[in-house]
Structure 1
């Protein structure tokens, strides 16, 4: 009986460690997603607006175009 209780406690401890590890991994994936969103996706969304304003600042008539 004592051996079974010890084994159960050991399994619970291991399960708790696995849960903590999974939670850390989940947080890393979430932060990676947020960083990817901020550094890659958002600039791609704003690029057409910035490029159109940049090209609108030029007077193509003086360039012969």
Structure 2
């Protein structure tokens, strides 16, 4: 009986290790997905901070300084 219990505990331990590895891979995947999403969203906003004033300056000068 004791040998069977030890065997089952060892099997469960092995399965828990596999589950842990899988969840860590999933966590890293979600982390990099979040980082990529932020880069795709935030960098264009930062670029617009510099581009829009320049565009408006050129546009208003082209209209004759209104």
Q: Pick the TM interval, shorter chain.
A: 0.7 to 0.9
The answer to which structure has the higher helix fraction is 2
Tell me how far 1:2 sits from its aligned partner.
Answer: 1.0
Using structure 1 for the length normalisation, give the TM-score. 0.82
Structure 1 gap segments, 5+ residues each: none
Corresponding pairs, count: 63
The higher relative CO (CA closer than 8 Å, separation ≥ 6) is in 2
Give the structure-2-normalised TM-score.
Answer: 0.81
Structure 2 spans left out of the alignment, 5+ residues:
none
Q: State the Cα RMSD in Å.
A: 1.5
